[in-house]
């Protein structure tokens, strides 16, 4: 990206996505290959009055060294100051900006998958707690790297692949618009209106049916659906995902039955690629999990705690967004989950509960892993408390 594009990217992230307020501390997460974007965002944050930009850096090569050489009993150790750092940021009512996108695809593929599954860094449990309490105004955006570009566009020369990936990311971020913020507000209006309709309908369950998928997910009474616009507990609006195309809620973790097959590869936070994921649920719990890659890693992850094998999110994505129209697998959950309907194993979102009783029924876990199940062949039907079946999302088009 040239300097002008970097500046526009940073402005979208800081001013609109995170909606940084003067005097806030900013947690900025980066990784090798994203230095230019990290610096541009930090520069914009200080221009907007940040009190301090706290850089959190993740290097997957160092994680590889740990998995390869560290004592087995130490792999789940997370220094307590990592969690304290996040908790303190929440107490400070700070902001957070993260850059997604792989920097070293396949780096861990030749290592013991069980050991890889036990080390969940850079994911930190306390992040979910702080987000659940709405203490931060935060956002995640895709940060392109040459390695990521070669993964997405393997048939192109490296420079061409990077240029194409950057062009695609600028398009889905609406930075190819004269006024990207206005474009995002229009899209957000549409998503929020659908979320309100779903909230008002108060379906008892959703039925998913398509190739490799036949699953019923129970919903919680009083839980709301949300999209695009978030607000902190102190009233600061922000857009957590840029781009965002989803409408989501947290389901009843005890009422999921049937089987589901992923429609796109899942890329874990450390870059591990999980292909052809199949999960079968009984009474809310994943009782069978298979995949053609990283199978043992995923099986290890879902035994991490009681909630890791249960759902914490269901999200619906229509075909009106820009990501799916590109017909590209991006190998990045932020993008791929906003191209197709998805579900998430692990932690739910208590801020979606209508009351404390409903919040207490939501899933709790150290993990939150989204994987994509949507396609034009997937039909999603709402089931009322009276058993009426109402078409919701068929072939990627809203029917409600």
What mean pLDDT do residues 38-61 have? 97
Locate all alpha helices (DSSP H) within the chain, ordered by sequence.
3-11, 35-47, 60-69, 80-91, 113-118, 125-132, 146-152, 158-172, 180-201, 295-301, 322-325, 333-336, 356-361
Q: What is the mean pLDDT of residues 231-259?
A: 96
Q: Phi, psi (5° rounding) for residue 265?
A: -60, 145
Structural domains of the chain ordered from first start? 3-172 (3.40.1830.10), 180-398 (no CATH)
SS3 of residue 317 by DSSP: strand
- Cis before residue 122, ω within 30 degrees of 0? yes
Task: Spell out the residues 6+ positions from residue 3 whose beta carbon is closer than 8 angstroms to its own.
Answer: none
Report the share of the chain in percent with pLDDT over 70. 100
- pLDDT tens across 84-103, in order? 999 999 999 999 999 999 99
pLDDT digits (tens, 9 = 90+) for 253-300: 999 999 999 999 998 887 788 999 999 999 999 999 999 999 999 999
Q: CB-based contacts of 47: which residues, under 8 Å, 6+ apart?
A: none
Residue 335 in tokens: 């993008």
Quote the CA–CA distance of 295 and 177 in Å, as a whole number.
41
DSSP state letters, 159-194: HHHHHHHHHHHHHHTTTTSSSHHHHHHHHHHHHHHH
Give pLDDT, residue 123.
87
- Long-range contacts for 181-190 (Cβ within 8 Å, ≥24 apart)? 181/12, 181/15, 181/16, 184/16, 184/239, 184/242, 187/228, 187/245, 187/321, 188/227, 188/228, 188/229, 188/239, 188/244, 190/320
Give the residue-averaged pLDDT of 34-42.
97
What's the average model confidence in pLDDT over 145-164?
Answer: 96
Q: Give the pLDDT of residue 147.
A: 95
What would the two tokens of residue 142 be? 């895709």
pLDDT confidence of residue 6: 97
Backbone φ and ψ of 72, nearest 5°: -55, -40
Of 27, 107, 105, 29, nearest to 63 (Cα)? 107
Name, in order, each residue with C-beta under 8 angstroms of 163's C-beta and a sequence gap of 6 or more: none
Average pLDDT over residues 301-308: 95
User: Could you please report the per-residue DSSP string of 343-394?
Assistant: EEEE---GGG-SSHHHHHHS---S-EEEEE---TT-EEEEE-TT--EEEEEE
Residue 218: per-residue pLDDT: 98
**Sequence-ordered list of residues with C-beta below 8 angstroms from that of 79, at least 6 positions apart, any chain:** none
Across all residues in the chain, what is the average pLDDT?
95
The neighbouring-strand residues paired with 290 are 278
Neighbours of 51 (CB within 10 A): 15
- Asked if the bond preceding 243 is cis, omega within 30° of 0, the reply is yes
- Please tell me the predicted confidence (pLDDT) of residue 259: 98
The larger pLDDT score, comparing residue 217 to residue 123, is at 217
Taking residues 165-182, report their average pLDDT.
97
What digits encode the pLDDT tens for the residues 310-368? 999 999 999 999 998 998 999 998 999 899 999 999 999 999 998 999 999 999 998 99
For residues 13 and 356, which has the higher predicted lDDT (pLDDT)? Answer: 13
């Amino acid at each position: 990206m040239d300097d002008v594009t970097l500046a526009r990217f940073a402005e979208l992230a800081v001013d609109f996505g995170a909606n940084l307020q003067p005097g806030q501390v900013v947690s900025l997460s980066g990784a090798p290959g994203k230095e230019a974007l990290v610096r541009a965002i930090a520069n914009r944050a200080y221009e907007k009055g940040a009190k301090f930009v706290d850089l959190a850096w993740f290097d997957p090569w160092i994680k590889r060294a740990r998995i390869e050489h560290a004592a087995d009993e130490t792999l789940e150790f997370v220094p307590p100051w990592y969690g304290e750092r996040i908790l303190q940021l929440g107490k400070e009512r700070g902001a957070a900006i993260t850059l997604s996108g792989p920097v070293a695809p396949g780096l861990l593929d030749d290592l013991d998958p069980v050991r890889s599954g036990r080390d969940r860094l850079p994911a930190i449990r306390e992040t979910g707690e702080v987000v659940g309490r709405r203490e931060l105004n935060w956002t995640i955006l895709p940060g392109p790297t040459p390695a990521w570009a070669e993964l997405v566009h393997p048939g192109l020369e490296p420079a061409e692949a990077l240029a194409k990936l950057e062009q695609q990311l600028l398009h889905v971020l609406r930075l190819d618009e004269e006024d990207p913020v206005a474009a995002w507000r229009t899209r957000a209006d549409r998503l929020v209106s659908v979320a309100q309709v779903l909230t008002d309908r108060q379906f008892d369950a959703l039925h998913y049916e398509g190739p490799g998928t036949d699953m019923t997910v129970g919903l919680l009474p009083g839980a709301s659906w949300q999209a695009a616009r978030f607000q902190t507990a102190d009233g600061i609006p922000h857009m957590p995902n840029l781009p965002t195309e989803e409408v989501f809620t947290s389901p009843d973790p005890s009422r999921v039955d049937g089987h589901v097959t992923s429609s796109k590869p899942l890329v874990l936070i450390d870059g591990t690629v999980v292909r052809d994921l199949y999960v079968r649920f009984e009474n809310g719990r994943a009782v069978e999990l298979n995949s053609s890659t990283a199978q043992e890693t995923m099986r290890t992850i879902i035994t991490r705690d009681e909630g890791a094998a249960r759902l914490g999110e269901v999200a619906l994505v229509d075909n009106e967004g820009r990501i799916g129209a590109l017909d590209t697998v991006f190998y990045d959950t932020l993008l791929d989950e906003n191209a197709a309907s998805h579900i998430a194993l692990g932690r739910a979102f208590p801020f979606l509960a209508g009351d404390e009783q409903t919040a207490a029924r939501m899933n709790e876990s150290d993990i939150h892993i989204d994987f994509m199940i949507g396609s034009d062949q997937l039909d999603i039907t709402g089931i009322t408390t009276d058993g009426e079946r109402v078409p919701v999302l068929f072939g990627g088009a809203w029917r409600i």
